[in-house]
Structure 1
């Protein structure tokens, strides 16, 4: 994936993570899973295991979005660094061509 693509994906991930509807849905689902897990009978090991798996998958979605956001931030820094380096090289070459 190019730096520009990583930057774009990072921006999109940020939009999702900051989206009020996403935040509300995520918290609602997480709360529901935790309540079901807490209220489940100890003898229902299979049901509790499924709820635990659901919770872990939900957290994995959040982690993936956060990772994509951070990757986008790093891509932006790298693009800025490349642009600064190009600008310095151009300025340096300008000194020698006069």
Structure 2
């Protein structure tokens, strides 16, 4: 299992990716291209439609995985902040 610091690092990289204009543009362009291809494909081309559909599922999985890393990083950061706060409180109590 990754450390808190590793999860925070990965979350920050995921955030950079998801907020990157080039990634957003490329992802949306590819998704739109495949969605249009799927919608306009002939009904009789079941194999082709299935491949397009699977590609769209893969794109969604990719984005979900990156988003999951972002959320995991946020939670790890909150946990680290909480631990630091508890440690600081413990130090204050021990001073008395």
TM-score tier by shorter-chain length is over 0.9
**How many Å separate the matches in 1 of 2:41 and 2:66?**
30
| Structure 1: runs of 5+ lacking an equivalent | none
Where in structure 1 do 4 or more consecutive aligned residues deviate above 3 Å?
Answer: none
**How many Å separate the matches in 2 of 1:74 and 1:31?**
32
Partner of 1:13: 14
Q: CA deviation at 1:39?
A: 1.1
Correspondences of 1:55-94 after superposition (within 5 Å): 55-94=56-95
**How many Å separate the matches in 2 of 1:24 and 1:94?**
55
| Structure 2: runs of 5+ lacking an equivalent | none
Correspondences of 1:46-61 after superposition (within 5 Å): 46-61=47-62
Aligned length: 95
Answer with 1 or 2: which has the greater Rg.
1
